Chain A
Amino acid sequence: MLSWVSKILRMKFLSLLGLLSVALVAGVLVSPSLTPSQAQQPAPSNPAATSPAATPTPGRVAGSAASPFGTQTPQGGLNIVVLDPAHGGTDPGARGTGGIRESEIVLDFAVQVRRALELQGFQVVQTRQGNENPSFDDRSATANAQRGAVFVTLHISSTGLPGTARVYVNSDLPPVANAGGLIPWDRAQAPFLGLSKAFGDLVQGFLAQRFKGSPDTAQSASVRQLRTTAAPAIAVEVSSVTVEDRADLDRMAPGVADAIARGTAAFKPSYVVPSTPGALP
């Protein structure tokens, strides 16, 4: 009788040991997807799962589709595009004689640019969704909080040959003194200037194909918005609010969107993103 009891107890002990080892193996398999960097970042999404109908809030990744079990592996490289429709709120930007306001048109452009980028598999974060006017620093902060992001700010000019589009990268900035690995906020763009130029040239190349009279390469200018952005960053300016009919500008939106999406996709393989947001490239 006692021998039967001891056998049953031994079997229970062995089964418990087995269950414990299975749990340990499962824990080891699951743990790599919970790194500290991921815990601080928006979870990388599966591009296929990105929903164009998703309406993210500013500063959050559109269409994120993280697994509830945390088993999704992070995708390396460039994944996120921070899209900045310039101006907004009390700042209408450039104004045309026919009542055209830059702040409204760039928001409409952003919808099409976003759709084109999502078709290329990128996540899109917008600095504003409606008629708000975040500060320059707030817009840069949205980009600087992302890992593996590029920044595109959209503008409509007051002058220039209508029907053309120009890409700008920030002018030369003094080299960053890397004291303790910190980048000064007001020169955050400095280490990224080379990357921004490469990115800008690609987008400008596609724009030049679509819009005759546009330059072949990106121009440099002291654009305030770009200076504090710690990512490859460009400004795209479409000419201009002086068109008689707003439809002339609306017709340019698909071409601009396509050029930005194709330029970003072409830039992706050449950009190895830093391990932490805002880190030096």
Chain B
Amino acid sequence: MTPSWKYWLIGGLAVAVLAAAIYFPILRRRVKRAARLQQQSEEQARRELTQPIPINPSDPRVKAKVFWVSDAIDSTLAPVTVELPLSNDPALRSKQVLNTLLAGPVDAELRTLPPDASLLAFYLLPDGTAIADFSEALATSIPSGIVSEQLAVNSITRTLEANVPQVQRLKILIHGQEVETLAGHLDLAGTFVVNTKVAQEPAKPTPTPSGTDKPASPAAAAKARAAVPGTLTATRAPGKLAQAESRP
């Protein structure tokens, strides 16, 4: 082995070490970035895939009514007027007002929906039935209870009713799935009546969101009166219970 060969070898090794010293930090950064991408949940990926809601500044600015918790009366909703550029397209307009509702009021205590919940998709069928698909956080982060769950659903339906007259009924999905309850109490199996003035009777069970802060419509009240006998006596023919068909 000649001395010149030794110099070449040492020189080559020195170049390799220098190249490695430069390349390794770059490689580490790339690995870290790849790991971060893998950590993204399925829901985050889906959220990225959903189309961003275009806000067109040329849309007319209108005074939208958004329903959050009232700071005056316990467990009721109160409308807050927010000036927004709203689209004339009912589906787009619904997304815009629901995103404003999800963003929450200035006072975070008056929120009706969890801050980490988001609207994944919104569809409006020709018959006026809307389908709103919310992220899982709506069900998992909302305080459990009849009153809190009812306020959440009522804030959604009343905000839609006030700003999008085309929406007559609303079906709520959680992460694309039909669920039995919102957080253990409120029934999400059916559709909620949104526009109480023009809503027609749907074929499926229809839990209405009428409650502490929303009187039932006269038509609905009349229907309920007709469905229930006036006297509290057994005036109808007795019947038997059918076995559950659609649900276990």
Contact = CB atoms under 8 A, between A and B. Distances in A.
Interface of A: 86-87, 91, 93-95, 102, 135-137, 144, 155-161, 164, 166, 168, 170-176, 178, 180-188, 190-195, 198, 213, 215, 219-225, 227-228, 230, 235, 237, 239-240, 270-281
B165 interface: no
Contact of B143 (A159, A184, A281): A159
B232 A270 contact: yes
Residue of A171, A187, A275 contacting most chain B CB atoms (<10 Å): A171
A194 B147 contact: no
B209 to A, nearest CB: 7
A275 B229 CA distance: 17
Contacts of A271: 232
Contacts of A235: 146
B187 A181 contact: no
Contacts of B232: 194-195, 198, 270-272, 281
Contact of A160 (B147, B236, B237): B147
Q: For the complex, would chain B's binding face be called helix, strand, loop or mixed by DSSP majority?
A: loop
Interface string B206-248: 1111111000100010011111110011101111111111111
29 contacts: A137-B244, A155-B146, A158-B148, A160-B145, A160-B147, A171-B209, A172-B206, A173-B206, A174-B201, A174-B205, A181-B240, A183-B240, A185-B243, A185-B244, A191-B227, A195-B228, A220-B208, A221-B186, A223-B186, A224-B187, A225-B185, A227-B207, A230-B241, A239-B147, A272-B234, A274-B238, A277-B241, A279-B240, A281-B229
Interface string B175-186: 000001100111
A224 B185 contact: yes
Contacts of A172: 206, 208, 210, 216, 220, 223-224
A182 B239 contact: yes
Nearest to B237: A181
Nearest to B216: A172
A220 B216 contact: yes
A171 B207 contact: yes
Contacts of A213: 74
Nearest to A273: B234
Contacts of B228: 191-195
A238 to B, nearest CB: 10
A3 to B, nearest CB: 64
A276 B240 contact: yes
Contacts of A280: 234, 236-239
Contact of A194 (B143, B224, B247): B224
Given A157-B147, A272-B233, A223 B241 contact: no
B74 A224 contact: no
Nearest to A272: B233
Nearest to A158: B143
Contacts of A164: 74
Given A186-B244, A186-B247, A223 B185 contact: yes
Residue of B189, B202, B237, B244 contacting most chain A CB atoms (<10 Å): B244
A237 to B, nearest CB: 5
Contacts of B81: none
Given A186-B244, A239-B147, A276-B240, 15 more contacts: A135-B248, A144-B241, A168-B146, A171-B209, A178-B237, A182-B239, A182-B240, A182-B242, A188-B241, A194-B228, A220-B216, A237-B146, A271-B232, A278-B241, A281-B234
Residue of B147, B148, B151, B225 contacting most chain A CB atoms (<10 Å): B147
Contacts of B234: 272-275, 279-281
B189 A187 contact: no
A102 B144 contact: yes
Given A160-B74, A164-B74, A194-B224, A279 B239 contact: yes
Nearest to B180: A224
B238 A222 contact: no
A222 B186 contact: yes
A224 B146 CA distance: 10
A175 B201 CA distance: 10
A277 B68 CA distance: 43
Contact of A240 (B145, B189, B210, B211): B145
B75 interface: yes
A271 B232 CA distance: 6
B242 A155 contact: no
Given A172-B220, A237-B145, A91 B241 contact: no
B236 A281 contact: yes
A182 B240 CA distance: 5
A275 B235 CA distance: 11
Interface in B3-23: none
B152 to A, nearest CB: 10
Given A158-B144, A164-B74, A185 B245 contact: yes
